[in-house]
Amino acid sequence: MSDVQAFEQAQKDVKTLTRRPGNDDLLFLYAHFKQATDGDVSGKRPGMLDMVGRAKYDAWAKLKGTGKEQAMQKYIDKVQALLKSHK
């Protein structure tokens, strides 16, 4: 299975989790997904009143310079770990 196929499968697998992951795990998944699909963060950082948007932006911004393949692999690894711990 190629990296892209494994990444797509991980996106499907994450939807089968029996419990909702914690906020840190959700931010990790969001940031790595965005880095893998869109590259480095773009746009303005949300304002102080948009706490969720700001947390997402900050998590993604920390990955600046991370390659697409590396972000995909970390996303895949996190989903596999969550699948094991949520069964």
Q: pLDDT tens-digit profile of 39-76?
A: 999 999 999 999 999 999 999 999 999 999 999 999 99
Whether 83 and 13 have beta carbons less than 8 Å apart is answered as yes
List the structure tokens of 73.
């692999």
- Give the mean pLDDT of 14-34: 96
Q: What is the rounded distance in angstroms from the CA atom of residue 29 to the CA atom of residue 11? A: 10
Structure-token pair, residue 66: 């991370």
Predicted confidence at residue 87, as pLDDT, reads: 63
Q: Region 82-86: what's the mean pLDDT?
A: 90
Question: Once rounded to an integer, what is the mean pLDDT over residues 14-43?
Answer: 96
